[in-house]
Amino acid sequence: MIAPCRVKDIDAVLDLWKRAGAAPSVTDDGEGVRRRLKRDRQLFVLAWAGARLAGSLIGGWDGWRASMARLAVDPAYRRHGIAKRLVAAVEAQLRQMGAKRIGCIVLEGNEGGTAFWRAAGYWRDAQTRRYVKDLS
């Protein structure tokens, strides 16, 4: 079942990211996830296998650009179409909000992630490079 993330799901989300091997970021804590939920809750979707959290994806939309990040699937549930369903759910929401293109964040060296996004119809944009700065 695909459903929006709720405040009561935060601990399960953080645990999923660890199980899935997601690279830690400065916002990987309860407060960071809680802040994210206050914005576009409908773009932060979870996949449930019964009572167990099997996957997550965070979409973003600022009225100009759409993005997706933190696609994570529990290793025990990979190759079951969960990532495809998560992406389809966020794509539908973003399309409804007016997005024309979506950018995805994939870490360098994540060959599985790269293969997934290519199979889902996404390509690497050779014209852009992402720069970041921690404000803490």
List pLDDT tens digits, range 85-108.
999 999 999 999 999 999 998 888
Q: Which of 47-66 are b and which e, b meaning 16 or more Cβ less than 10 Å from the residue's Cβ?
A: beeeeebbbbbbbbbeeeeb
Residue type at position 111? E
Residue 52 has a pLDDT of 94
> What domains are defined for the chain?
2-119 (3.40.630.30)
What's the mean pLDDT in 56-76? 94
Residue 46 has a pLDDT of 98
Q: With pLDDT > 70 as the criterion, what percentage of the chain qualifies? A: 99
7 vs 106: CA distance, rounded Å:
26
48 vs 135: CA distance, rounded Å:
34
Structure tokens at 132: 């970041």
**Mean pLDDT of all residues in the chain?**
91
Residue 22 has a pLDDT of 77
What's the mean pLDDT in 4-19? 94
The pTM of the full predicted model, rounded to 2 decimals, is 0.90
